[in-house]
């Protein structure tokens, strides 16, 4: 049974690859995804592709186009606000629980993550900046002792990988004071102060939301302008 694929099923591999392309922008929003093409590109049959697309749809990365398969979900500012409202309470909860339950373990591994984060910014690599931020927050989810937090936050993180990627491709860097905020949060957790940890955690997310909202609005305006330009071109051509 369990047709034992070596390490990861084809479905998972295909899922990861498509998601990566979406997050990196190789597959831009509104791109139509066709099973045959993906299957050919990844050299698998349509079956694992179809299943991977179902999972992606389930998690909101692609959406049913009315009656023509699926398209990559566009990033819009409204969804961004929604996601950050949730992350604010979810990350706040994680910080509070971490301070209550895992002040000790936080001290041990936390400092290294902060260092890695600053190094990532210094390195200039987008991928490292994004994954360092993810690693820090996921570390706190782990400290919280509540496995469901990481689970509930996971779709949002993928969404943010997309947004951070899109922003970085324009702005070329993430505001570097976020690692000062991370350090302050960690310090409150290590000190075992739940209320302060939660407050700092929520403030951190709220600030990030405000920062990103500006960028995303700009991206969206540009996308709208492109849209208009294209539709004008079409009208002229047709």
Residues lying near a second copy in the complex (CB under 8 A) are found at: 1-2, 4, 11, 50-51, 54-55, 58, 60, 64, 67-69, 79, 81-83, 85-86, 89-90, 92-93, 97, 146-149, 151-152, 155-156
The edge-to-edge listing of strands for the beta sheet with 32-33 is: 32-33, 70-72, 62-64
Report, in angstroms and rounded to the nearest whole number, the Rg of the chain calculated over CA atoms: 20
CA distances in angstroms from 8 to 17, 46, 49, 188, listed in the order given: 13, 17, 14, 39
> Shortest distance, CB of residue 187 to a second copy, whole angstroms?
23
User: In this complex, which beta carbon is closest to a second copy, that of residue 9 or of residue 131?
Assistant: 9
Q: Which does 93 bind (CB under 5 to 8 A by kind): DNA, a second copy, none?
A: a second copy
Token pair for 102: 């895992």
Q: Which does 56 bind (CB under 5 to 8 A by kind): DNA, a second copy, none?
A: none
Which residues neighbour 65 within 8 Å (Cβ) at sequence distance 6 or greater? 32, 71
- The verdict on 66 binding DNA (CB under 7 A) reads yes
Q: Are 76 and 220 in contact (CB under 8 A)?
A: yes
Residues 34-63 contacting DNA, CB under 7 A: 34-36, 44-48, 50-51, 53
User: In this complex, which beta carbon is closest to a second copy, that of residue 103 or of residue 114?
Assistant: 103
Among candidate residues 80, 62, 61, the one with its CA nearest the CA of residue 71: 62
Q: Are 110 and 139 in contact (CB under 8 A)?
A: yes
**11 Rama sector, left if φ>0, alpha if ψ -120 to 50, beta otherwise:** alpha
Q: What's the CA gap between 212 and 218, in Å, rounded? A: 10
Site string for DNA, 6-35 (x = CB under 7 A): ---xxx---------------------xxx
Backbone angles phi, psi at 48, to 5 degrees: -65, -30
> Shortest distance, CB of residue 44 to DNA, whole angstroms?
4
Q: Which does 156 bind (CB under 5 to 8 A by kind): DNA, a second copy, none?
A: a second copy
Q: Which does 33 bind (CB under 5 to 8 A by kind): a second copy, DNA, none?
A: DNA
- The verdict on 199 binding DNA (CB under 7 A) reads no
Q: Which does 10 bind (CB under 5 to 8 A by kind): DNA, a second copy, none?
A: DNA
> Shortest distance, CB of residue 17 to DNA, whole angstroms?
13
> Shortest distance, CB of residue 224 to DNA, whole angstroms?
23
DSSP secondary structure string for all residues of 146-183: -HHHHHHHHHHHHHHHHHHHHHHHHH-S--TTHHHHHH
């Amino acid at each position: 049974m369990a047709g034992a694929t070596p390490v990861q099923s084809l479905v998972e591999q295909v899922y990861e690859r498509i998601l990566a392309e979406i997050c990196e922008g190789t597959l831009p929003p509104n791109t139509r995804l066709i099973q045959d093409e993906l299957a050919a590109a990844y050299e698998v049959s349509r079956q694992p592709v179809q299943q991977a697309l179902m999972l992606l749809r389930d998690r909101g990365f692609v959406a049913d186009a009315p009656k023509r398969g699926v398209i990559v979900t566009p990033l819009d500012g409204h969804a961004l606000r929604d996601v950050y409202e949730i992350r604010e309470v979810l990350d706040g909860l994680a910080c509070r629980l971490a301070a209550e339950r895992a002040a000790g373990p936080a001290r041990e591994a936390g400092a290294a993550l902060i260092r890695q984060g600053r190094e990532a910014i210094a390195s200039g690599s987008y991928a490292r900046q994004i994954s360092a931020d993810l690693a820090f927050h996921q570390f706190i989810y782990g400290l919280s002792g509540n496995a469901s937090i990481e689970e509930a936050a996971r779709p949002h993180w993928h969404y943010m990988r997309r947004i951070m990627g899109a922003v970085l491709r324009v702005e070329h860097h993430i505001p570097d004071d976020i690692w000062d905020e991370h350090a302050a949060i960690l310090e409150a957790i290590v000190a075992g102060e739940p209320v302060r940890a939660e407050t700092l955690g929520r403030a951190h997310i709220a600030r990030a939301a405000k920062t990103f909202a500006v960028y995303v609005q700009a991206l969206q305006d540009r996308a709208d302008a492109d849209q208009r330009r294209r539709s004008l071109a079409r009208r002229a051509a047709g």
